[in-house]
């Protein structure tokens, strides 16, 4: 069936090809449809006698649109035996055996009771209204429902508008509660408001979307779907034809001989003037073409999902076993880390790289003794690379040349030990651990040598000041004592060379602190 759908879609795209008779294909087909209307009353024996009776003429909205006697909808009397059984309405057989439509005109003011008699008698569940009440200043249909939350009486029927809403700008949906004597029924009405009289809608999406909601509301009910516009032929015939083709598509009956013209002619044999204008006939073509396009797209998507996202159902297929082994190996490979995370701690220099550049270490100045006390002998400074064979700097040197050592290794993350920083007021005891440290204090650092005993990472031991390392440890030294006296930038204990002094306003001698000798 896919080939037939594609063939029709291609034909719709080339509808404007000019034929030998000087008309496009649509106009040519529609001229054949109109020519057949005259033959129905002559050779086929269709009659309209019931609609021409004197008592029934006033019940017709248009004098030239009368139902065929062979397909008209007869009414049964409810209370009075003298009630007429006539209403301007026709049965239309659907594509499925038990599906029927009632195509009728918009009720007149004096046929509102007959309209609800028909709805009640044939147990209608869904009403499709394809017009407005007033169009171009002319009344096209009498209101046969009440305002929202109100109740109106139409003959022997009480109609209450329970709910009214618009799912989009083109459709209005009403839920009507109909009561006759002691029985009540719920009926859904779908009004399409974007269809001009004797014209066509701007697009067919609104009609297709509305009919999806109609079929969902109808469900499995075998009651006829009531469709009406003003005359009950033009717009009503279009909707009947589109839904008829949809049922053919649903039951996979789009064959090589599929013809929109044949379907319209078959509907016209049941309701006169169905699909009333050439523009409406062209709209049927485009709507059916769009329906077929959506069906083809849906089939392709379903086929793609089945072939790409689903495996065969049998495990003994060799290809399935290979595919499953490949899938398992891929999943196992996904569990292996592909590269190191950038969030892991990194050293500032690559491990094993030697720092051969020379840099300066500033000697920490001592506190000046009181004037009355004697100066102690200068204390030799000890550096972490004192044993490398280099010359020892003088005791009173401001800067000392230090030959760097190799970068120490880092304990792996699984066994790394991180020491808690000891507050400044708790570090006083660290300076007295050994006498070999001079004026520098050791603080437990982040990096440790591999020769040091490692503490497991999950251990939460806190290293106390008594556990501080001696100067024999092969580490860099860290300054930990805070400056006690911060009354001035150049107070004793401060870094004398880094004094922050305001810019002088004029030529003057440099500050005295710049020329003082370090002791």
Q: What is the pLDDT of residue 443?
A: 46
Count Cβ neighbours within 10 Å for each residue of 481-517 and write b for 16 or more, e otherwise.
beeeeeeeebeebbebeeeeeeeeeeeeeeeeeeeee
Which of 38-42, 104-108, 399-403, 500-504 shows the highest mean pLDDT? 104-108
| Angle at 53 (CA atoms; ends 48, 58), nearest 5 degrees | 105
Could you report the per-residue pLDDT of 256-279, keeping only the tens digit for each?
999 999 999 999 999 999 999 999
Q: What is the pLDDT of residue 301?
A: 76
Q: What's the whole-number mean pLDDT along residues 7-19?
A: 77
Query: 103-107, 155-159, 323-327 — which is least confidently predicted?
Result: 323-327
Q: What is the pLDDT of residue 309?
A: 56
Residue 153 gets which letter from DSSP? Answer: E
Share of the chain above pLDDT 70, in %: 55
Q: What is the pLDDT of residue 22?
A: 46
Q: What is the pLDDT of residue 83?
A: 80
Q: What is the pLDDT of residue 519?
A: 56
For residue 194, pLDDT over 60 is answered with: yes
Q: Which residues pair with 184 in a beta bridge?
A: 179
| Angle at 193 (CA atoms; ends 188, 194), nearest 5 degrees | 140
Domain ranges of the chain: 2-307
Average pLDDT, the chain: 74
Query: 280-284, 357-361, 363-367 — which is least confidently predicted?
Result: 357-361
For residue 368, pLDDT over 90 is answered with: no
Q: What is the pLDDT of residue 196?
A: 82
- Written as one string, the DSSP assignment of 146-176 is PSBT-EEEETTEEEEEEEEE-SSSSEEEEEE
For residue 234, pLDDT over 60 is answered with: yes
Could you report the per-residue pLDDT of 170-180, keeping only the tens digit for each?
999 999 999 99
Could you report the per-residue pLDDT of 437-486, keeping only the tens digit for each?
444 444 444 444 444 444 444 444 444 444 444 444 444 444 444 444 44
Query: What's the token pair of residue 418?
Result: 């991180």
Query: 75-89, 137-151, 213-227, 415-429 — which is least confidently predicted?
Result: 415-429
Query: 150-154, 274-278, 348-352, 506-510 — which is least confidently predicted?
Result: 348-352
Which of 28-32, 160-164, 295-299 shows the highest mean pLDDT? 160-164
Count Cβ neighbours within 10 Å for each residue of 168-193 and write b for 16 or more, e otherwise.
eebbbbbebbbeeeeeeeebbbbbbe
Count Cβ neighbours within 10 Å for each residue of 205-215 and write b for 16 or more, e otherwise.
ebbbebbeebe
Residue 204 gets which letter from DSSP? Answer: S
Could you report the per-residue pLDDT of 105-148, keeping only the tens digit for each?
999 999 999 999 999 999 999 999 999 999 999 999 999 999 99
| Angle at 243 (CA atoms; ends 237, 244), nearest 5 degrees | 85
Q: What are phi and psi of 205, to 5 degrees?
A: -60, -40
Query: 6-20, 350-364, 419-433 — which is least confidently predicted?
Result: 419-433
Greater pLDDT, 363 or 146 = 146
Identify the band that residue 199 occupies on the pLDDT scale cut at 50, 70 and 90.
Answer: confident
Q: What's the whole-number mean pLDDT along residues 490-512?
A: 57
Distance CA 284, CA 282 (A): 5
Greater pLDDT, 500 or 74 = 74
Residue 73 CA: distances (Å) to CA of 79, 95, 110: 19, 19, 18
Contacts of 358 (CB under 8 A, 6+ apart): 401, 402, 403, 404
Fold of 2-307: 3.90.190
Q: Where are the beta strands (DSSP E) in 167-257?
A: 171-180, 183-192, 225-228
CA 311 from centroid of its chain's CA atoms: 28
Identify the band that residue 300 occupies on the pLDDT scale cut at 50, 70 and 90.
Answer: confident
Identify the band that residue 209 occupies on the pLDDT scale cut at 50, 70 and 90.
Answer: very high
Q: What's the whole-number mean pLDDT along residues 344-371?
A: 49
Could you report the per-residue pLDDT of 242-257, keeping only the tens digit for each?
999 999 999 999 999 9
Q: What are phi and psi of 158, to 5 degrees?
A: -110, 120
Catalytic residue ranges: 229
For residue 282, pLDDT over 80 is answered with: yes
Query: What's the token pair of residue 268?
Result: 């016209």
Q: What is the pLDDT of residue 337?
A: 43
Identify the band that residue 36 occupies on the pLDDT scale cut at 50, 70 and 90.
Answer: confident
């Amino acid at each position: 069936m896919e080939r037939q759908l594609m063939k029709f879609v291609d034909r719709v795209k080339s509808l404007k090809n000019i034929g030998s008779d000087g008309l496009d294909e649509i106009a040519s087909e529609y001229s054949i449809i109109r020519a057949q209307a005259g033959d129905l009353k002559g050779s086929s024996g269709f009659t309209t006698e019931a609609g021409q009776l004197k008592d029934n003429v006033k019940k017709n909205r248009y004098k030239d649109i009368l139902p065929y006697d062979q397909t008209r909808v007869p009414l049964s009397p409810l209370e009075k035996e003298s009630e007429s059984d006539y209403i301007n309405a026709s049965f239309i057989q659907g594509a499925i055996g038990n599906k029927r439509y009632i195509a009728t005109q918009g009720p007149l003011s004096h046929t509102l009771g007959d309209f609800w008699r028909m709805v009640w008698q044939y147990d209608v569940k869904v009403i499709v209204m394809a017009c407005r009440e007033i169009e171009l200043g002319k009344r096209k249909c009498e209101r046969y429902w009440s305002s929202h939350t109100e109740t109106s009486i139409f003959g022997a029927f009480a109609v209450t508008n329970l709910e009214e809403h618009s799912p989009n700008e083109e459709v209005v949906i009403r839920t009507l509660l109909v009561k006759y004597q002691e029985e009540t029924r719920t009926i859904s009405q779908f009004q399409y408001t974007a269809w001009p009289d004797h014209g066509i809608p701007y697009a067919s999406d609104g009609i297709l979307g509305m009919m999806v909601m109609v079929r969902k509301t109808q469900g499995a009910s075998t009651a006829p779907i009531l469709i009406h516009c003003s005359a009950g032929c033009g717009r009503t015939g279009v909707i009947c034809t589109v839904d008829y083709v949809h049922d053919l598509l649903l039951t996979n009956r789009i064959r090589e001989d599929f013809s929109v013209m044949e379907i319209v002619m078959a509907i016209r044999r049941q309701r006169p003037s169905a699909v009333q204008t050439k523009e409406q006939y062209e709209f049927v073509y485009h709507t059916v073409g769009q329906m077929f396009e959506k069906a083809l797209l849906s089939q392709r998507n379903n086929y793609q999902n089945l072939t790409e996202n689903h495996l065969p159902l049998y495990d003994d297929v060799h290809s399935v076993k290979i595919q499953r082994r490949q899938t398992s190996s891929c999943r196992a490979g996904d569990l292996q880390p592909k590269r190191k995370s950038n969030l892991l701690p990194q050293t500032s220099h690559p491990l094993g790289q030697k720092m051969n550049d020379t840099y300066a270490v500033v000697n920490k100045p001592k506190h000046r003794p009181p004037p009355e006390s004697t100066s102690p002998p200068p204390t030799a400074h000890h550096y972490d690379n004192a044993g490398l064979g280099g010359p020892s700097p003088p005791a009173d040197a401001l800067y000392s040349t230090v030959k760097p050592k190799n970068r120490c290794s880092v304990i792996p993350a699984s066994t790394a030990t991180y020491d808690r920083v000891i507050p400044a007021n708790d570090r006083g005891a660290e300076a007295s651990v050994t006498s070999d440290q001079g004026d520098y204090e050791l603080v437990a650092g982040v990096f440790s040598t591999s020769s040091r005993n490692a503490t497991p990472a999950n251990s939460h031991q806190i290293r106390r000041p008594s556990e501080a390392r001696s100067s024999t440890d092969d580490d860099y030294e860290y300054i930990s004592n805070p400056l006690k006296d911060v009354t001035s930038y150049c107070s004793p204990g401060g870094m004398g060379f880094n004094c922050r002094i305001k810019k002088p306003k004029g030529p003057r001698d440099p500050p005295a602190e710049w020329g003082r000798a370090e002791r």
